[in-house]
Amino acid sequence: MAQPKVLPQYIAGLSAAFGAFCMGASMGWSSPVEKLLTEKNAYGFPISGDQFGWISSLLTLGATVVCIPVGFVIDMIGRRPTMLALIPPYMVGWFLMLFANSVIMLYFGRFILGFCGGAFCVCASMYSTEISTVSTRGTLGSFFQLNTVSGMLYGYIIGGYCSLLTTNILCAILPLIFAAVHYFMPESPVYFAMKGREDDAIKSLLWLRGADCDIRNELNEILEETNKSTDEPKVSIWVALRRPITLKGISIAVMLQTLQQWTGINAIMFYSTSIFEDVGASLTGRVCTILIGATQVIMTLVAAMIIDKAGRRMLLLISAFFMAITTCLMGVYFQMRDNDPSSVTSIGWLPITSILVFIVFFSIGFGPGPWLVMAELFTEDVKSVAGSIAGTSNWFSAFLVTKLFPVLKDSIGSGPTFWIFCGIAVFGFVYILIFVPETKGKTINEIQLILSGSKKTIDSETNNDSQKIKN
């Protein structure tokens, strides 16, 4: 029998992850239009700096609110129908953005866009891992972050070179493109198995693996895992979430999602344009933003190519290490500049280099890693809600960082603020080293055994590593 085809998995995975592209475009929209809204009254009514801050941050607040509810919905009606059902409210959000005649309309529009985008984050990451084989799971799981940063770059480019009306229209058509493509994709075979629809699960697997592929072993594994949950005494989701293994998985997923935001990515992105201009770089703020966005896209693409070879844990460790170094250097630069501006005239290259290195290593590790690990840690009966809890922690952290960063910067200074980010990155490195397991190439049963601390699994891994060395 033929080996599983990779192309159908990539098509379905990219299709689902295009929802993240839509969210990324909404995130990227803020940066290039800020001056249009606050200085040029592009909407025809005045918008203060504080009001624009809320316009920006309400996107992340909307995403925070939806993550847990959508976890229940995708188990009730399915992953694919849930994503398609998000399109009408998504269009309502962009309709409000297009025809806004007050700040309140912009508030509601951005909140709705965040609501739909946050729901996509949960659905797309889960769908991508459920349709993939073990060997392609890392690559498909990285599609979510790759599409998010690609969408941000799209927002930077069209916002930087197009009028506000054109920018809004070009962003508003993205959900329609998603619907037109994803309508033809299959539902997750795992969802069909959970609902006892074995024939539909077979059809989905044959679409994803190829009609000539022998899917019996994979189907049996899926059915075994879902039947295990069905055969066990029926318990509420809240009881299931309190199982020790599940709690350990949730603690790891939540910590990784929280660390992703609190290591300073939003602060770096916020500061990047002004830093390039402050040090006299011969680049406009618009070009600097696009340059950083392009760096994110390229390095996230690299991460998608290597994450199934290098492993999630190793890339997260490397990422945390270099993020700690670069935020420490940023803190040194800003502290020197605040104490004596003339002392940094000869090291203008330091903040620029630090920013680019930070973006590079964030993109290969802490960018895609937390979302991928989140989708791998949980059994089918709790995956939707547990993953939603982790997603909520990410977006709520993003909201807090966005609102608190200016407060910290003004109260204790830029240098100490970046040193706080450095300390969090160091903590993240230690936490990953001690608590985060490697999930590369492992089935859900093997991952559950690792979380339970099974000596059998640990010994088996050690023996396998020893055999590889001998060979």
pLDDT of residue 470: 42
Query: Are residues 107 and 55 in contact, defined by beta-carbon separation less than 8 angstroms?
Result: yes
pLDDT band (50, 70, 90) for residue 278: low
E strands within 308-442?
none
CATH 2.30.110.10 fits 1-185, yes or no: no
Check whether 4 has a pLDDT greater than 90: no
pLDDT in tens, 309-322: 889 999 999 999 99
pLDDT of residue 102: 95
Q: Alpha-carbon distance 278 to 272, whole Å? A: 10
DSSP 342: G
Query: Are residues 29 and 162 in contact, defined by beta-carbon separation less than 8 angstroms?
Result: no
Q: What is the CATH number of domain 240-455?
A: 1.20.1250.20
Any idea where the domains of the chain sit in the sequence?
A: 1-185, 240-455
Provide CB contacts within 8 A for 30, sequence distance 6+: 55, 56, 59, 155
Check whether 464 has a pLDDT greater than 60: no
pLDDT of residue 131: 93
Do domains 1-185 and 240-455 share one topology? The answer is yes
Burial 164-191 (b: 16+ CB within 10 A, else e): beebbebbbebbeebbeebeebbbbbbb
Check whether 230 has a pLDDT greater than 60: no
pLDDT in tens, 75-130: 899 999 999 999 999 999 999 999 999 999 999 999 999 999 999 988 988 899 89
In terms of residues, how long is the chain?
471
pLDDT band (50, 70, 90) for residue 406: confident
HEC letters along 114-151: HHHHHHHHHHHHHHHHHHCCCCCHHHHHHHHHHHHHHH
pLDDT of residue 46: 93
